[in-house]
Structure formats: C-alpha cells, structure tokens
Amino acid sequence: MAGIGGAETTAKKTRWGILNAVVVIYALFPVLWIVSLSFKSKDTLADGNFIPRSWTFDNYSEIFKTTEFVRALANSIGIALIATAVAVVFGTMAAYAIARLDFPGKSLLVGVSLLIAMFPQVSLVSPLFEIERSLGLFDTWPGLILPYITFALPLAIYTLSAFFREIPWELEKAAKMDGATPGQAFRRVIAPLAAPGVFTTAILVFIFCWNDFLFAISLTSTERSRTVPVALSFFTGSSQFEDPTGSIAAAAVVITIPIILFVLFFQRRIVAGLTSGAVKG
Amino acid sequence: MARGHRLPRGDGRAALAYLTPALLVLGGLMAYPIYQLVLISLFDYGQEQVSGGAPLVFLGLGNYTELLADKQFWTVLWQTVGFAATCVVGTLVVGAALAVLATRVRTWARTLLFLAALGAWATPAVAGSTIWLFLFDANFGLVNEVLGSTGFSWTFDRWTAFGLVAAQVVWCSFPFVMVTLYAGIKAIPQEVVEAAALDGASTVRTARSVLLPLLRPLILVVTIQSVIWDFKVFTQIYVMTSGGGIAGRNLVLNVYAYQQAFAASEYGLGATIGVVMTALLLLITIGYLRALRKSGEEL
C-alpha cells in the first residue's frame, strides 16, 4: 500500500487522529441524532438534548399502528426484492455474454448501458406516466418494478461484467477434462466463484430500488403501491393536529438502520462493488 | 475456431440468447419511452389533452422556443450549474482528503472511517434529507441550539437553503469518491513512492509529481461521475425545500421538469425540459466515456 507522506511524528499523528474523529462525527452524527429524536417523547422533542431525557417507544408503536406506514413498508420490501431478483438474473446473463463470448457490438452494448445509467430519470417520468396509465399499470407494483429493473439493469451489467472478467474461466475447462459434466463444472467450479459478485450486485441494486423517490412519487397515487420514502414525505402524524416530527424520525430510522446494518455487514463486498466500476480491477 | 482465425460472427448466436431478456427490457422500457418523450415535447399537452377535453395541437418546436425564451428556465439552468458545481467540488475535496487520511491511519481507525462513510452512503435520500432538515430545524434543531440561534430558519433564505442541501448531498456522495480514490492509492506500488523518497522528493513533491499523475485518470472518472449525479439531484431539493423553495427560487432542472409536468400539468413543456436535460447529460457522458477509455478501462 502506498502511503502519502513522510516520517510519523506525534504531532502529526494527533492531527490525523483529530481529523479522523471530525469525519466520523460528520458522517455518523446525523444518523445518531435522528435515532435520538425517534426515542424522545412528544414534550421533550424540542429540548435540543442529544440524549433523550425520557426514552419512549411511542413513536415506533404509533407508526406501526398506521396502515399508511405498514403497507408502504410491505410495498417497499416486495417491490425492491422482485426488481432486484429480475435485474440480477437478466444482468448475470448479459454480463456472462459480455465477459465470455465474442460477438459484434460488444463495446457498444457496455457503452449504451453506461449511457442509461447516466440518463436523467426525471425525463422518463412523463412518458412512463402516460404509458402506464394507458396500460393500467399506474399505481401498481409492476408499475414501479418495471422502471426499477430498467435502471438497475445497466448497473447490474456493468458491475457484474467487471466481476466476471476476474473469474479464471480455464478452471471450467479443467473440471470438464477431469470428467465433470458441464452442469457439474458450472455448479461446483464457476458458480461459487461468481456468487460473491452476483451477491454484491444484488445488494447494490436492492439499495438503488429501496432508496428511489422520484419514480415512487410520480408513478403511485395511493397506499396500494406507495413505498416508504414517499409515505415518509407525506407523513402528517396520526391526527392532523399532531406534530409528526417524532413519527417521521421513527420512520426514517426504520428505513435507514436495516440498510446501514446490511451495508456494514457486507462492507468489503460493497467496497469491491463500488470500486469495480471505476478502478480497473 | 476454424483453423486459428475467428469466425466473423464470433459467438453471436449464443450471445444473443443470453442478451435477449436484457435487450427486451431496455428496448421496451427505455427506447419506447424516450421516443414518447420526444413526441410529447412537440405537442401542447396539458390537463385538457390528457382527459380528452381538448384536441392535441402539434407545436413542432414551439415548446422549445417557449422554454428558451422563458427567463425562469435560464435562472434555473444557472442555478443547477452552480449548485452542481458546489456539490462536486465539496464531494471531491472531502472524498479525496479522506482517501488520503485513510491511508495514513491505523487499521482500526480506517475501519471506523469506512463504516461511518458507508453508513452515510447507504442512508436513503429521503431519510437523509429529513435527518438534515431536523438537524437544522429552526426550533428544535441541534445546530441552532449549539449556535444559540434558535428560531433561525435555514431553509427560508435562498442561499442558506442551497448551502444546506449541498452539505447534505456532499454527505451522502463523498463516500463513493473516498472509497474509489482509496482503492486507487492502494493500487500504486509502494516502490514508486519509495523511489521518489530515495531521490529526495518531499512529501508534497511526491504527492504532486508522482501520485497525482498516476491518479489523474481515476480523479477524472470520479469527477465526471459526481457531475452527472449532482446535476440530477432531485430528492434532496424536493424534500428539503418543499418542492423547490418559496416561489421556486431553489429549483434545479430536475425538479423544474417534474414540477412543470406534474404540478402544473404541462406535460409537453415538462418533456421539453427532459429532452434538454438529457442532451446536456449526454454531452457530459460522452466526455466520461472518453475519459474512461483514456484511463485504460476496458469497455
């Protein structure tokens, strides 16, 4: 590993240490603050204390009592899972072709999928709105799953083909020479090698679908298919006269913490996935 | 295959079988809507036309001339450019500084740094925007508490509102730059740095004349990636300034297109803004692809 800089001195070390602490605070603090807000009771919400003076689970029990939130959570999970599964399967097939086969127009294909990844989603919102209304897909699960697949596919193809290029494909041939059937060679040799890349891609794609707000707000209109990010932005509290801050904080925690834990748990894989697109592996 | 030279079609047929599902999805869900987008942008297409109450009027380039003559469009365009530029510079400075920091600290500190960064990266944009709004809330926000400025609204003034959104955007996008550049620095062989040190180069000199040129292609890639993302910021502006600020003074192109199409039901004009935005991003992307090719990335 290349380090930038010369000899270590104590003063220098302290400076780096302080800088490190500042960054960790900048990155972590906002999330910790919302967690703290979500545990505050209604009357201590505005006290500005970082640690809640009286802890309460009311905010959580309240949002889980509303169908508005529970339904949105179910929609989010279902839609993101289905879109991820389809995008990863299609993406794996395409990336396999790109990594393993020789065919005309290959670099064009990768170029096009990059172009799609850059495409401003907002441009597709009006036409998709029109098309989905005429097909009866507006405000349904497929109505969101389809655009998610479209925008997740290029991401999947790009990340997966970077991973697949690294697989020593000769091993497949070697296994066949040792008497393995093509099926066995794939299952025993290639699949275990490819699995980490596919898994990483699935995580990235899932996060993309889970976090989307633009499609979710423009292609849904009722609880039937509204996802959590949109539900969150519509939160007004259980009654009209109530301050929704506590509920919003709790809902934000519910959609954020699982994703963060997931990402932290698979930290290495995610870093590999993020860099595969930019650094030549 | 055939006596050493490749068949002209290669594995074309097999490849087609593997690619068909992806191509069908992209063709049906990208190509057709893009065609529709361009088509809609040529018509006067509003609420009455959608409900069938008024006939469709073909305007040709009418929407485009109307848009280009609209003062608000130019204001929004420059705002978008300025806002994106601020976010890009902020993201790059923070991300690059942290990538260097990560190479300098001990393993446990680096792990902590990466965990914190990935946490910020993974936070859904809506949740992140809400968190930052609460942090800077006029009445119960911690920032006002600390600064002793309770009651000060950060989202009321045009520039503090833009600044707040930019800080949030940097918060959720620096991790990508940091992680990528860190991997880039790590990929530089230690001998190169040692050789420079042996030749008597100072730290600054080594960084400037040895590491920077080696990292240049990568820096270009993350810069253009950031430009593309920050140009398309939607959620943060939409959530944090309640759909573009008071009287739309915090609008960026993305939100402007959405507001024209959905809030004002001017689908034709909204589509026109979409086409213009796509054209702008296309230019940036072509630059990106050229940069990628230069950096030696296989396409």
**Where residue B238 sits, what CATH number does that domain have?**
1.10.3720.10
Asked whether residue B15 is domain-assigned, the answer is no
B186 reaches A (C-beta below 8 A): yes
pTM of the model: 0.85
Subunit contact A274:B180, Cβ cutoff 8 A: yes
Work out the pLDDT band at B298, boundaries 50, 70, 90: very low
Round to whole Å and give the CA distance between B236 and B128: 8
pLDDT value of residue A237: 53
Average pLDDT, stretch B69-75? Answer: 88
A33 CB near a chain B CB, below 8 Å?
yes
Which residues of chain B neighbour A235 with C-beta distances below 8 Å?
none
Identity of the residue in B18, B119, B127 whose CB atom sits nearest the CB atom of A264: B119
Which one-letter amino acid corresponds to residue B21? P
Main-chain dihedrals φ then ψ at residue B265, nearest 5 degrees: 55, 30
Separation of CA B231 from chain center: 5
Spatial CB neighbours of B146, under 8 Å, sequence gap ≥ 6: none
What is the mean predicted confidence (pLDDT) over B195-219? 81
**B14 within domain boundaries:** no
Supply the ipTM of this predicted assembly: 0.82
Q: Which domain holds residue B128?
A: 63-294
Task: Report pLDDT for A281.
Answer: 30
Per-residue pLDDT band at B137 (split at 50, 70, 90): confident
The CATH homologous superfamily of the domain defined by A63-277: MetI-like (1.10.3720.10)
Crossing angle (nearest 10°) for helices A141-164 and B12-26: 140
Q: What is the pLDDT of residue A90?
A: 94
pLDDT at A48: 67
DSSP alpha helix (H) spans, A47-179:
58-65, 67-100, 106-118, 121-135, 141-164, 170-177
- Provide mean pLDDT across the span B98-120: 85
Cβ burial of B192 (10 Å; 0-12, 13-18, 19+) is middle
Bridge partners (DSSP) of residue B58 are B43
Angle at alpha carbon of residue B133, lines to B127 and B135, rounded to 5°: 100
Polymer length in residues for chain A: 281
Average pLDDT over residues B208-231: 83
For residue B285, give the amino acid letter.
T
Q: Shortest Cα distance from B116 to chain A (angstroms)?
A: 5
Beta bridge partners of A101: none
Q: In sequence order, what are the residues at sequence separation of 6 or more whose Cβ sits closer than 8 angstroms to the Cβ of residue B50?
A: B265, B267
Specify if B249 maps to a domain.
Answer: yes
- Provide the residue type at A79 as one letter: I
The H or E element containing residue A202 is: helix A191-211
Tell me which amino acid residue A19 is: L
CB A201 within 8 A of CB A163: yes
Pairwise CB contact (< 8 Å): A123 & B277: yes
Give the count of domains, chain B.
1
The Cα–Cα gap between B209 and A206 comes to 41
Structural domain spans, chain A = 1-56, 63-277
The ranges of chain A with pLDDT < 70 are: 1-8, 48, 236-243, 276-281
Find the closest chain B residue to A123 by CA distance.
B274
Residue B34: count of CB within 10 angstroms of its CB = 18
Interface of B with A in 58-77 (CB under 8 A): none
B128 interfaces chain A, CB cutoff of 8 Å: yes
Confidence of residue B4 (pLDDT cuts 50, 70, 90): very low
The rounded distance, in Å, linking the Cα atoms of B221 and B92 is 11
Tell me if B115 and A262 make a contact (CB, 8 A cut-off).
no
Maximum mean pLDDT: which of A81-95, B15-29, B111-125, B265-279: A81-95
Residue A214 touches chain B, beta carbons under 8 Å = yes
Average the pLDDT over B22-36 and give the result. 88
Q: Is the pLDDT of residue B295 over 80?
A: no
